[in-house]
Amino acid sequence: MEQSDIKHNYLSLFTELLVVTFVGLILTLIYNDTIILDELEHLRAAYFVSLGEVPYRDFFEHHHPLIWYMFAPIISVIPHLNLVALYTAKSLAFAFSVGSSIIIYLMVKRFMGGVFVAVAALVLYFFYFATWYSFSIFKPDTFMRFFYLCGLYNFLLYYDKQKLKNLMWCGTCFTIAFLFLQTCAFCILPLAVPAGYMLYKKPNLWRDFAVSALVPICLSAGFYAFLYMTGSLEGYWQLNVTYNRYLFDIVHSFTPSVLPDFLILIIIAYASMIYVYATHRQTTYFNIFALLTVFETITHIYFPAVYPHYLVLLFLYCGIIIAFVLNFEQNKWIFRIALVIIIINLILNLFSLAATNNKESHLYLREYDKNPQADIVNFDVTLFSIFAPKYSYYWFYPNFEYIDNAIFHRMPDYNINDLISKHKPLYIAYNPHIKQAFDFKKVGQKFDIAECYPQHMLNTGILEDYEEILINLYKRKALP
């Protein structure tokens, strides 16, 4: 069989694998238990924004705000039911992830060797189930990834043709990506190397970079001017910079990195890189993706990823690197071994999908939807209601909020038990095993939330008036 026939057959096989994967992604959106606290957090913040409230000033948050302002007009017009809001948001995330996949296909096809590499890279991108469930997660990461990939594609187009419009689109997309998620800066940083190399080889290109820089400068200036005019600039800086610096240190003091759980794809990618450089088959664009892979790996070693969906971009880079090698090794035994591993992993992903379902998570949201405007107090990472009334600046999770009070003393008179006694919420989500002590290593101090900030912790005597209707979910007893 000729090489062209072999390549065509394998392209057909990888296309079929991609179709099966896409069906799995749709089933994951509908059926899999991927409803996480962060999604409801961002939906609730979007709901607050739709009511005219300003993040950081009027309610506690420690993320960039673009996702809330993007979804606020939508949440203001859909029925105020938790499941409706959640699946509207997840469908939007799914659509953006489809857009990301299209960008990946176009980018890899153009710069890394054609259709086969693009299809194989997408199949390898979905190698782990973590990418499957992150495909429809309503988090800033999903939208950041779309705009980052748009920016990366335009950066590579500019590297190829030096057209100013591509560089301007690159800067625009990178800025929007940053406004969704500040950690996008770490994804953009390694591109300074090829950009610097371009300027070294063609010094006259500095004018293009200067002109294109005006777009992100204007967008950023508009963003910070908005924060200043709404009186939230100081809170933004405190909660997105200072607070997150402490939170990172705290969370990673007791939560290990998940990176070691996903070494198969990463090891194969690095072996592929060594092979490409040893056989001198690298291209300029392969070098760029190799640089991105190494930098992303170092980032996740230095800033350990505590959840698998934080590693999705690394999975993408690894998939592109491996697909590049598979493109010219289709008649060798190593290709057949890789193909077997890919198929086995696809089957494992389908088993992961079949093994979990969203019935348990839906129980909580259906209970809340019986009383969509009911008062709910959250002392757990269980699911909480998006549309419940807010009676305080702090509304999210006591172990996060008391850190803010410990650092900035933002609400010294805050007392959750007084609020409960006053408003008598219908529901209380409470986990008795909640971790109560955090060690502030950076300042050499240890705060025990129960001892130093008891006003953030639930007085469990209050639960005598409640009954547990679901795990860690208590409902106020009916009056006799």
Per-domain residue ranges of the chain: 3-355, 359-476
* Alpha helices (runs of H) in 213-262, residue ranges in sequence order: 214-229, 233-237, 243-254
- Please tell me the pTM assigned to this model: 0.92
Residue 407 amino acid letter: I
Coil/strand/helix, residue 76:
coil
**Residues 6 or more apart in contact with residue 318 via CB below 8 angstroms:** 124, 265, 266, 268, 269, 293
pLDDT for the residue 443: 44
Q: Alpha carbon of 239 to those of 68, 228, 408: distances in Å? A: 16, 15, 10
State phi, psi for 429 to the nearest 5 degrees: -95, 120
pLDDT for the residue 158: 97
Model pLDDT for residues 157-201, shown as the tens digit of each residue: 999 999 999 999 999 999 999 999 999 999 999 999 999 999 999
Cβ(60)–Cβ(404) below 8 Å: yes
DSSP characters for 289-349? Answer: HHHHHHHHHHHHHHTT-SSGGGGHHHHHHHHHHHHHHHTT-TTSHHHHHHHHHHHHHHHHH
Q: How many CB atoms lie within 10 A of CB 360?
A: 13
pLDDT tens digit at each of 480 positions of the chain: 455 656 667 788 888 889 999 999 999 998 887 778 889 999 999 999 999 999 999 999 999 999 999 999 999 999 999 999 999 999 999 999 999 999 999 999 999 989 999 999 999 999 999 999 999 999 999 999 999 999 999 999 999 999 999 999 999 999 999 999 999 999 999 999 999 999 999 989 999 999 999 999 999 999 999 999 999 999 999 999 888 887 777 666 556 778 888 999 999 999 999 999 999 888 999 999 999 999 999 998 888 877 888 999 999 999 999 999 988 776 667 778 888 888 898 999 898 888 887 777 888 888 888 887 777 777 766 677 899 888 889 888 776 787 888 788 888 788 888 888 888 888 888 877 665 545 444 444 555 555 566 777 788 888 889 999 988 888 998 765
Q: Rounding to the nearest 10 degrees, give the CA dihedral for residues 50, 56, 59, 61.
A: 90
pLDDT for the residue 480: 55
Please name which of 135, 139, 133, 134 lies closest in space to residue 68, comparing C-alpha atoms: 139
Cβ(275)–Cβ(463) below 8 Å: no
Cβ(449)–Cβ(402) below 8 Å: yes
Which residue has 């998939």 as its token pair?
319
CA–CA dist 345, 413 (Å, integer) = 53
CA–CA dist 271, 269 (Å, integer) = 5
CA–CA dist 338, 328 (Å, integer) = 13
Q: Rounding to the nearest 10 degrees, give the CA dihedral for residues 409, 440, 64, 212.
A: 120
Please name which of 291, 346, 353, 348 lies closest in space to residue 124, comparing C-alpha atoms: 346
Q: Rounding to the nearest 10 degrees, give the CA dihedral for residues 195, 196, 197, 203.
A: 100
Residue length of the chain: 480
pLDDT for the residue 449: 54
